[in-house]
Each structure stands twice: as structure tokens, then as C-alpha cells.
């Protein structure tokens, strides 16, 4: 049996078919609600059920706080209605020409950016346009049906090519292949299957507030895409990138970020290391990267934040920026990695 879902405050309606989640049905109807992981781990799709019955699944109890659960908050990527629903959720404005598709891609190059970070360049089918908003991701669909998500590290698919940054997760099925380990290393010319573009992590072009970009490790990839998009558009909003890693090699595109300062008026770059060793010769900031933001900007009430990286960093930033620095909750945009390897 299908059910009707009404989204407030926009008052938009769509139908959920049996077995579908609220998020999947909304996306199928062309209504983009915020989402990232689609598997109940990141909380980006959090919304509030105003009325109606549904199966929430086990994930909300794991990652939402008790007070929010009591107010009807749930994860829309997990919720399956058992009656008509009225929900409150923010709608994301997506360009009309962005269509999610499955397609084959060819591995063009594999270029090491750091001992544990590889840049993969993919050749897309030239017959199909692959348009995306800088900050979105794609999924590889592996032979066993499992999926791996990676953000595009470029603002556009120039020449039908996109670049991704893959961190090696030792023992992982996919990333071990990328790093040439095991019996079946990934090689240029191999054909893989992808679905994309996915996610709602992209800049709001109409929000004039100064931007804080917050990245850890390869969370830099979608931020690179967003900043390159700003360069292309001549977007001069004040923006500061805080990029954190443990050791200098984790900030594998530091030169690029430093060069952006010359090309983008109002852009600042603050690299931060959490485990700098005496031999690293590091003279920059140290500690937790989100703490560096709080030290510099104790009042975030007039800012917007785009954060990508390890889930623990993203969640600590969300909590501390809102609770201690006055960041409006709707001004925190995040894409947390899930660590499937
Ligand atoms: Fe739903 Fe991540 S928890 S999109």
C-alpha cells in the first residue's frame, strides 16, 4: 500500500511506495531533501515527523539524541511510512539538469597524492552528460553489489572526466585494489560501474554569510570542488578553509590551497596538524581542526559552515559550533565519510 507524505514548510507532497524510504521516494519525485550516507550513519537526513505512523528502523536511536527523538525527529533515509505522514524537513534546491544515473566508467589514471591517498581520474561515457554540483559524490557499484562513495574533487566533468581522492583502508576490498594490493590491482583502462551524482552537500549560492570550510584528510576533495566552483563563478564571499590532518603528508594538496589565496579575494587557509612530530618542521597550528575554528571565531552566529571528513570530527564540530559558538543549526552543512573500505 502506498502513502502520501507532505513536507512542511514548503507544503510539497509525494507518494511512498511499499518498501520505499521517505528519502528515496522524495528523490524519485524530484524533491531533494538533505542527505549524504543513505545508510543511517551521518544524520544529514534528520527531519521531524509531525503526524502519522512509520517504522524508524534502529538507526535513529543510535545517533540522535533522546530529546530530539522524543520530539519526533527521525532519519528520513531509514523511515518507512505505515500511514500518510506530515514531516518537517528542509528542501534543497538542485539544478534542474542534474539527473542521477548509473553508467560504466573507465579508469584513466591513478596518481598517488600521499602515501595513503590516490587520485583516480575516471573517463565517463561521452554520450552521457554527467552534471553535478561541486561537493556531490558518486558511488562505485562493486561486483558483489556493495557500494563505495567518493566525492568529486573537481567542479565539473571537463572532457567527460572526474577526479576522486581515495584513502587506503588497509585490508579493504576496494581501496586495497586501488593501492595495488592483493591479487587484482585496479589498473588504468579497467571498466567500473558508478551511480551519481548523489548528495546534497553543495554551496547555497544565495547565502551571503561568510563561509567556513572544515575538512579532515580526504574530506578535502568536495571542498576543493566547491572552491574551484567559486573561482569559476567569481564568487567573492569571504571564505576560510580549515584543513586538518595528523601529519604534514595528510594535507596532500597544501600548495593548491595556498595558491587559492592569490586567486580568490577574501580566501584564507588555515592548515592544522593534530600529531605534528618534532622532525616535521611544522610551524603552523596544532590540535583539533574544529577547535582551531572555535579559537579564531568564537562567535559563528553570522557564518555558514561546510564540513567534510571523519564522522567524529564532523559530529564534534556540529555540536560545539551550535552549542558553544551560536552557529544556527541550519547553517551547518556536512558530508561525513562512512568508512567502507
Ligand atoms: Fe540518512 Fe545519512 S543518516 S543520509
- Ligand 1 centre and the CA of 75: distance in Å? 6
Residues in Cβ contact with 326 at an 8 Å cutoff, skipping those fewer than 6 apart: 299, 300, 301
Residue-wise pLDDT for 307-341, tens only, equals 999 988 998 999 999 999 999 999 999 987 655 55
In a domain, 145, yes or no: yes
Looking at the structure, do residues 180 and 230 belong to the same domain, yes or no? no
- Ligand 1 centre and the CA of 335: distance in Å? 10
Looking at the structure, do residues 215 and 323 belong to the same domain, yes or no? yes
Q: Domain ends where: 40, 66, 88?
A: 88
In a domain, 33, yes or no: yes
In a domain, 142, yes or no: yes
Percent share of the chain, pLDDT over 90:
80
Looking at the structure, do residues 218 and 332 belong to the same domain, yes or no? yes
Ligand 1 neighbour 60 (Cβ under 6 A): no
What pLDDT shows up at residue 268?
A: 97
- The whole-angstrom distance between residue 271's C-alpha and the CA centroid of its chain comes to 20
Looking at the structure, do residues 222 and 327 belong to the same domain, yes or no? yes
Looking at the structure, do residues 22 and 56 belong to the same domain, yes or no? yes
Residue-wise pLDDT for 2-29, tens only, equals 999 999 998 999 999 998 999 999 998 9
Ligand 1 neighbour 37 (Cβ under 6 A): yes
Ligand 1 neighbour 42 (Cβ under 6 A): yes
Neighbour-count burial for 167-204, b at 16+ CB within 10 Å, e otherwise: bbbeebbbbbbbbeeeeeebeeeeebebebbbbbbbbe
For residue 43, the ligand 1 atom closest to its alpha carbon is 3
CATH of the domain at 76: 3.10.20.30
In a domain, 95, yes or no: no
Q: Domain ends where: 26, 54, 88?
A: 88
pLDDT band at 97; cut points 50, 70, 90 = confident
Looking at the structure, do residues 82 and 175 belong to the same domain, yes or no? no
CATH of the domain at 177: 2.40.30.10
Contact 32, 94 (CB under 8 A): yes
Looking at the structure, do residues 152 and 74 belong to the same domain, yes or no? no
Ligand 1 neighbour 201 (Cβ under 6 A): no
Looking at the structure, do residues 16 and 55 belong to the same domain, yes or no? yes
* DSSP codes of every residue in 174-217: HHHHHTT-SSS---TT-EEEEEEEE-S-S--TT--SPEEEEEEG
What pLDDT shows up at residue 4?
A: 97
Residue-wise pLDDT for 209-251, tens only, equals 999 999 999 999 999 999 999 999 999 999 999 999 999 999 9
Contact 154, 228 (CB under 8 A): yes
Ligand 1 neighbour 41 (Cβ under 6 A): yes
In a domain, 205, yes or no: no
Domain that holds residue 68: 3-88
Give the whole-angstrom CA distance, residue 139 versus residue 126. Answer: 19
> Phi and psi dihedrals of 228, rounded to 5?
-65, -35
Looking at the structure, do residues 37 and 82 belong to the same domain, yes or no? yes
In a domain, 282, yes or no: yes
Q: Which residue has the cell 531509514?
A: 78
Residue-wise pLDDT for 84-93, tens only, equals 999 999 888 7
Ligand 1 neighbour 35 (Cβ under 6 A): yes
Overall number of domains in the chain? 3
CATH of the domain at 283: 3.40.50.80
Looking at the structure, do residues 137 and 180 belong to the same domain, yes or no? yes
Query: Considering only CA atoms, which of 271, 306, 156 is closest in space to residue 225?
Result: 156
Measured from the Cβ of residue 68, the count of other Cβ atoms closer than 10 Å reads 14
Q: CA dist 326 to 215, 240, 288, Å?
A: 20, 18, 19
Amino acid at each position: 500500500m502506498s502513502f502520501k507524505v507532505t513536507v512542511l514548510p514548503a507544503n510539497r507532497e509525494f507518494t511512498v511506495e511499499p518498501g520505499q524510504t521517505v528519502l528515496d521516494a522524495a528523490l524519485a519525485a524530484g524533491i531533494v531533501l538533505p542527505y549524504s550516507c543513505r545508510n543511517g550513519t551521518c544524520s544529514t537526513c534528520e527531519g521531524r515527523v509531525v503526524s502519522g505512523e512509520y517504522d524508524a528502523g534502529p538507526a535513529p536511536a543510535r545517533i540522535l539524541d533522546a530529546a530530539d527523538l522524543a520530539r519526533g525527529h527521525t532519519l528520513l533515509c531509514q523511515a518507512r511510512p505505515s500511514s500518510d505522514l506530515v514531516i518537517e524537513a528542509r528542501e534543497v534546491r538542485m539544478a534542474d539538469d542534474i539527473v542521477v544515473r548509473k553508467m560504466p566508467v573507465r579508469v584513466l589514471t591513478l596518481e598517488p597524492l600521499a602515501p595513503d591517498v590516490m587520485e583516480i581520474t575516471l573517463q565517463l561515457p561521452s554520450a552521457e552528460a554527467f552534471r553535478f554540483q561541486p561537493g556531490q559524490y558518486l558511488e562505485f557499484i562493486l561486483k558483489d553489489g556493495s557500494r563505495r562513495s567518493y566525492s568529486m574533487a573537481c567542479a565539473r566533468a571537463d572532457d567527460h572526466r572526474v577526479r576522486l581522492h581515495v584513502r587506503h583502508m588497509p585490508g579493504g576490498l576496494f581501496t586495497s585494489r586501488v593501492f595495488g594490493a592483493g591479487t587484482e590491482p585496479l589498473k588504468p583502462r579497467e571498466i567500473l560501474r558508478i551511480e551519481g551524482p548523489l548528495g546534497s552537500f553543495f554551496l547555497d549560492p544565495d547565502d551571503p554569510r561568510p563561509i567556513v570550510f572544515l575538512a579532515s584528510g580526504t574530506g578535502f576533495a568536495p571542498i576543493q570542488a566547491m572552491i574551484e566552483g567559486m573561482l569559476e563563478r567569481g564568487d567573492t564571499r569571504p571564505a576560510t578553509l580549515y584543513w586538518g590532518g595528523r601529519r604534514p603528508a595528510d594535507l596532500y594538496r597544501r600548495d593548491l590551497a595556498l595558491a587559492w589565496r592569490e586567486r580568490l579575494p577574501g580566501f584564507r587557509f588555515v592548515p592544522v596538524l593534530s600529531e605534528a612530530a618534532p622532525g616535521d618542521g611544522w610551524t603552523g597550528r596544532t590540535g583539533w581542526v574544529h577547535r582551531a575554528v572555535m579559537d579564531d571565531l568564537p562567535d559563528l552566529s553570522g557564518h555558514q559552515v561546510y564540513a567534510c571528513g571523519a564522522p567524529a570530527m564532523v559530529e564534534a564540530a556540529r555540536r560545539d559550533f551550535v552549542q558553544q559558538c551560536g552557529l544556527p543549526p541550519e547553517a551547518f552543512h556536512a558530508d561525513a565519510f562512512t568508512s567502507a573500505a
